[in-house]
């Protein structure tokens, strides 16, 4: 069953690989460059213990905004990252809600060229390496590298958009409070005494 499913998936990919939409306006090109820059700021996924509250809040907020962006902009940007890069991979995992795998264990496309250290168990959803507990995401696996061929994430995005619904993303309030406090502390540490003084 798994072998047949993989063959069908590959045939579907060959026949239905989406063309990269052309960005014809200056505003569209600007949106692409801005989104690429924001995705590059996502923390790379290496181990299951990598992510802090600040890292999660940034990823969740970015994924929320990508959900609202024009499809051709997202497609262009996803095609610009190769499948060994974990940053767009995590954005896609957060953006879309994916149910538990089928009985035959086939999980479909979407893992790119990334490899996990831990064996993926049936109770985990398609969202692996991210698992969710009452709105709180956490990593359940570490990376061991990858076996990708440098392809973009366009097909993964195309498949997720066609087959799954967007996730309703909420930012845990406790995380936001801690991140705001950290930002305030960091801002006060980096502000110069001259700026802190009031003008006479």
In tens, the pLDDT along 143-197 reads 776 655 556 788 889 888 888 899 999 888 888 887 787 677 666 544 444 444 4
- Looking at residues 35-43, what average pLDDT do you find? 95
In three-state form (DSSP H/G/I as H, E/B as E, the rest C), the secondary structure along the chain is CHHHHHHHHHHHHHHHCCCCCCCCCHHHHHHHHHHHHHHHCCCCCCCCCCCCHHHHHHHHHHHHHHHCCCHHHHHHHHHHCECCCHHHHHHHHHHEECCCCCCCCCCCCCCCCEEECCCCCCCCCCCCCEEEECCEEEECCCEEEECCCCCECHHHHHHHHHHCEECCCCCCHHHHHHHHHHHHHHHHHHCCHHHHCCCC
Cα separation of 1 and 21, whole Å?
A: 34
The per-residue pLDDT for range 108-129, each reduced to its tens digit, is 444 555 665 555 544 445 566 8
Whether the pLDDT of residue 79 is over 70: the answer is: yes
Single pTM value for the model: 0.74
What is the pLDDT at residue 11? Answer: 45
Higher per-residue confidence, 130 vs 196: 130
């Amino acid at each position: 069953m798994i072998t047949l499913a993989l063959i069908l998936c590959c045939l579907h990919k060959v026949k239905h690989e989406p063309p990269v939409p052309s960005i014809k306006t200056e505003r569209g090109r600007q949106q692409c460059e801005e989104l690429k820059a924001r995705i590059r700021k996502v923390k790379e996924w290496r181990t299951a213990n990598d992510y802090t509250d600040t890292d999660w809040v940034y990823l969740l907020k970015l994924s929320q905004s990508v959900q609202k962006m024009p499809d051709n902009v997202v497609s262009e940007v996803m095609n610009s990252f190769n499948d060994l890069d974990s940053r767009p991979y995590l954005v896609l995992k957060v953006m879309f809600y994916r149910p538990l795998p089928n009985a035959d264990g086939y999980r479909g496309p979407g893992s790119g060229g990334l490899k996990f250290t831990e064996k993926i168990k049936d109770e985990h959803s398609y969202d692996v390496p991210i698992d969710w507990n009452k709105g709180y995401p956490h990593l359940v696996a570490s990376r061991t590298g990858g076996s990708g061929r440098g392809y973009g994430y366009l097909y993964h995005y195309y498949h997720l958009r066609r087959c799954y619904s967007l996730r309703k993303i909420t930012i845990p309030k406790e995380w936001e409070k801690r991140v705001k406090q950290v930002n305030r502390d960091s801002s006060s540490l980096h502000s110069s005494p001259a700026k802190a003084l009031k003008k006479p």
